[in-house]
Copies of this chain bind each other. A is one copy, B any other.
Amino acid sequence: MSTAHASRELAQFAAQLRYDAIPAPVVERTVNLYVDWLGSGLAGKGARPVDSIARFARQAGGVGGAAEVLIDRAGASAYFAAMVNAAASHFVEQDDVHNGSVLHPATVVFPVVLALAQAHGASGRDVITAAVAGYEVGIRAGEFMGRSHYKVFHTTGTVGTLAAAAAAGRLLRLDPERMLHAFGSAGTQASGLWEFLRDAADSKQLHTAMAAANGLMAAQLAADGFRGATHILEGPQGMAAGMSTDADPARLLDRLGTRWATLETSFKYHAACRHTHPAADALLAVIGEHGLELADIAQVVAHVHQGAIDVLGNVVVPQTVHQAKFNMGTVLGIVAQRGYAGVNEFEDGYSRPEIAAFRDKVRMVLDEEIDAAYPARWIGKVSVTTTGGRVLHGRVDEPKGDPGNTLSRDEISAKFLRLAAFSGAAGPEEARAMLAHAWELPDQPVVGSVFAARIAA
């Protein structure tokens, strides 16, 4: 039945995954991804769309409960805590991404896992196991749905629901049959369209909020005996049938249990849409090699894959900080001026006149080599024409944060502290104590408050 019923095999894998069976490097990476995510969650404090979702949750009944809302430390049901934290952790565009699936796993997996762990008194190892289940399922489902899906759908919204359900189902200890039903209830709720991007609308946060909340709901319903479609991914009226023209069933079970897709996940170094990072790093390479400054640059051609054009092509003149993170010209301008495009650089930089002027010097061009390598590899190439008329070429094969060029724990810690300070979600000392506590995840017998660490510290 190996290829006959992929959804069932995937469900069985997620349900039966044991901590002891996860290789040590995968555990270590998962802890890194957790700490990285926690920083992104804190960074969402004060963001208008996130505040709206939090207000909605309170009004709808999400007051009180053992799960924590990161942006205001309120107690909530696991459902609403997952919803708000998933909205928060996707806001500053610093959460992780898996290249091959173009899925942001952390922002839909960890909100669910943390909220359920807090509600059910689960251990740090339970969190890690459940998160890995979510990553492995979600990434394969994203790869399965293919490039045609991503052209219209925000995969983290659609497939993210399945990742969340797998993680939630593992934490709730669903048996394989109920895990399969959780997949069915999650997949039939898969949604999220890119249309919002050309309006600078707030849907990106809604997508992650509801992917997490719906995935958690699907698992809780399954625990209660609620039945879902058993072939939700591959069936003739399932997700691929409705939302993909190039789905590849072979990807669903690709080396399940031996290939750890979790390890392939990239950290985001710049606080911008991941599609800008390869070009940004390639530009940094040129600037570093030739000692250029912003004013030295007359023109930049960013050689990109089609997916970058599909997503970034929508934003011509960014109206908000968030939209600016989806504008190639703005990102390259900030990088050229500041050497790094982080949350602070965007906040006080995106609307500066010299950045707006630089924007018009940048254009994207489809590159065959890059497009053929994508999405497995995200190659960056730029051609820079200087004001003096020189044409300089830059290239990176793995942008900073990719698996072969990953962030160290020190770099992740520094990023965490930067994000906590950016939003003011935690003071400097408190943030350091939270960070130390978060690194201890594998040794926590019960995952309690992520903030309580400051008392113990």
Q: Which residues of B contact A129 (CB under 8 A)?
A: none
> Which residues of A in the span 159-213 have a Cβ within 8 Å of any Cβ on B?
181, 184-185, 187-203, 206-207, 210
Q: Which residues of B contact A241 (CB under 8 A)?
A: 152, 193, 195
Q: Which residues of B contact A370 (CB under 8 A)?
A: none
Selected contact of A202 from candidates B189, B228, B237, B314, CB within 8 Å: B228
A55 to B224, CA, bound (A): 9
Selected contact of A56 from candidates B210, B224, B230, CB within 8 Å: B224
* Min C-beta distance of A159 to chain B, whole Å: 12
* Min C-beta distance of A188 to chain B, whole Å: 5
Cβ-defined contact, A185 with B206, below 8 A: yes
Identity of the chain B residue whose Cβ is nearest the Cβ of A203 in the assembled complex: B188
* Min C-beta distance of A434 to chain B, whole Å: 26
Identity of the chain B residue whose Cβ is nearest the Cβ of A234 in the assembled complex: B195
* Min C-beta distance of A24 to chain B, whole Å: 36
Selected contact of A201 from candidates B52, B196, B228, B314, CB within 8 Å: B228
Q: Does A76 contact B (CB under 8 A)?
A: yes
* Min C-beta distance of A114 to chain B, whole Å: 16
Q: Which residues of B contact A15 (CB under 8 A)?
A: none
Selected contact of A242 from candidates B52, B152, B217, B226, CB within 8 Å: B152
* Min C-beta distance of A95 to chain B, whole Å: 19
Cβ-defined contact, B199 with A229, below 8 A: yes
Cβ-defined contact, B191 with A221, below 8 A: no
Q: Does A418 contact B (CB under 8 A)?
A: no
Q: Does A291 contact B (CB under 8 A)?
A: no
How many chain A residues sit at the interface, stated as a range, is: 35 or more
Q: Does A220 contact B (CB under 8 A)?
A: yes
The segment out of A58-66, A260-268, A397-405, A445-453 that lies at the interface is: A58-66
> Which residues of A in the span 55-114 have a Cβ within 8 Å of any Cβ on B?
55-56, 59-65, 76-80
Selected contact of A227 from candidates B77, B190, B201, CB within 8 Å: B201
Q: Mark A306-322, 1 if CB is under 8 A from B, else 0.
A: 00000000100000000
Cβ-defined contact, B190 with A191, below 8 A: yes
Identity of the chain B residue whose Cβ is nearest the Cβ of A314 in the assembled complex: B237
Q: Does A283 contact B (CB under 8 A)?
A: no
* Min C-beta distance of A206 to chain B, whole Å: 6
> Which residues of A in the span 228-255 have a Cβ within 8 Å of any Cβ on B?
228-232, 235-239, 241-243
Selected contact of A210 from candidates B189, B203, B230, B238, CB within 8 Å: B189
Q: Does A48 contact B (CB under 8 A)?
A: yes
Identity of the chain B residue whose Cβ is nearest the Cβ of A204 in the assembled complex: B188
A185 to B80, CA, bound (A): 18
* Min C-beta distance of A181 to chain B, whole Å: 7
Q: Does A326 contact B (CB under 8 A)?
A: no
Q: Does A214 contact B (CB under 8 A)?
A: yes
Residues of A within 8 A of B (CB): 48-49, 52-53, 55-56, 59-65, 76-80, 151-153, 157, 181, 184-185, 187-203, 206-207, 210, 214, 217, 220-221, 224-232, 235-239, 241-243, 314
Write 9 A-B pairs (CB below 8 A) sorted by A numbering. Answer: A49-B226, A61-B65, A188-B195, A188-B203, A189-B192, A198-B229, A199-B230, A201-B229, A202-B226
**Besides the known contacts A48-B225, A56-B217, A193-B242, 7 further A-B residue pairs in the complex with CB atoms under 8 A apart:** A61-B76, A61-B79, A152-B241, A189-B210, A196-B229, A199-B229, A206-B221
